[in-house]
Amino acid sequence: MPRESNVMDQIKRSQVWKSIFRHDIPSDDRGRAQTVLSNIFLHLHPVRTPKSGIRVRYTWCMGGLTFFIFLVETVTGILLMFYYRPTLEFAYTDLIDLGEQVPLGIMREIHRWGAHAMVLSVWLHMLRVFMTGAYKPPREFNWAVGVILLLLTLFLSFTGYLLPWDQLAIWAVTVGTNMARATPFMGSEGPGAAFLKFGDINLVHAGSDARYALLAGRFVGEGTLLRFYVLHCLAVPFIAALLMAVHFWRVRKDGGISGPL
């Protein structure tokens, strides 16, 4: 039976409204489930969560916190990119200006504290998953994805550490990348590298090994700064975001968040 039409009804019947909102305001469980499933942001979260899954004492909320910090790092990082230039001439002075001249100089500090907090929360998340046995079948693959995400988090911290371009950064990265010399087969001083040669010609030497690829040279220089900048702002976050999608997806597909044993 036709209802007296008012403005809201007309809006709700319009093609624009219907193309955006597929469901009415849900009034039953089925409607609520459908609303969640048809929304890209809500569907990341399971439709039903076991009560234990929202117990802070069980999950420590560390996975969610890590994702939240990742979002904070993304937002503050994009804002910093508006001012920072990864060149020998400007990198350090832009950094000083970010603290002293640009409004809200705390932005870079938020980014830095966030980075520390994220490393901590990732470790604690790993500890929680280990202690509750949540890595056990059928969740072994997601544990492996999580380990890669941990390494990516550490690599993000490492690449970000060079960007201030002060003495601390340059020498820390010099020392850190020295480890790449010892990469098996791919590092000039690593095991197996000596076997990769044609006669007298070494295939893996200081000018062709993993460290060289990382530094874009034999020592930390302008090429390194640009390379670490691109890795830090684009490459690693992209891979991490992809793996995070896989990680969250697998949590759902492996039977939801694990319950207390």
| Residues in contact with other proteins by the rule CB under 8 A | 50-52, 75, 79, 82-83, 97, 101-104, 107, 259-260
Place of tokens 């371009």: 165
Both structure tokens of 38: 């048809």
Indicate the residue among 4 and 100 with the shorter CB distance to other proteins. Answer: 100
Q: Is 219 helix (H, G, I), strand (E, B) or coil?
A: coil
Output the smallest distance, CB 207 to other proteins, in A: 38
Indicate the residue among 75 and 246 with the shorter CB distance to other proteins. Answer: 75
Say how many CA atoms lie within 13 Å of 221 toward its Cβ: 8
Detail the DSSP E strand segments found in the chain: 197-198, 201-202
Indicate the residue among 31 and 99 with the shorter CB distance to other proteins. Answer: 99
Output the smallest distance, CB 92 to other proteins, in A: 15
Indicate the residue among 82 and 198 with the shorter CB distance to other proteins. Answer: 82
Rounded to the nearest angstrom, the gap between the alpha carbon of residue 112 and the centroid of all alpha carbons in its chain is 14
Q: Whose CA is closest to 76, among 118, 126, 17, 39?
A: 118
Output the smallest distance, CB 102 to other proteins, in A: 6
Output the smallest distance, CB 23 to other proteins, in A: 22
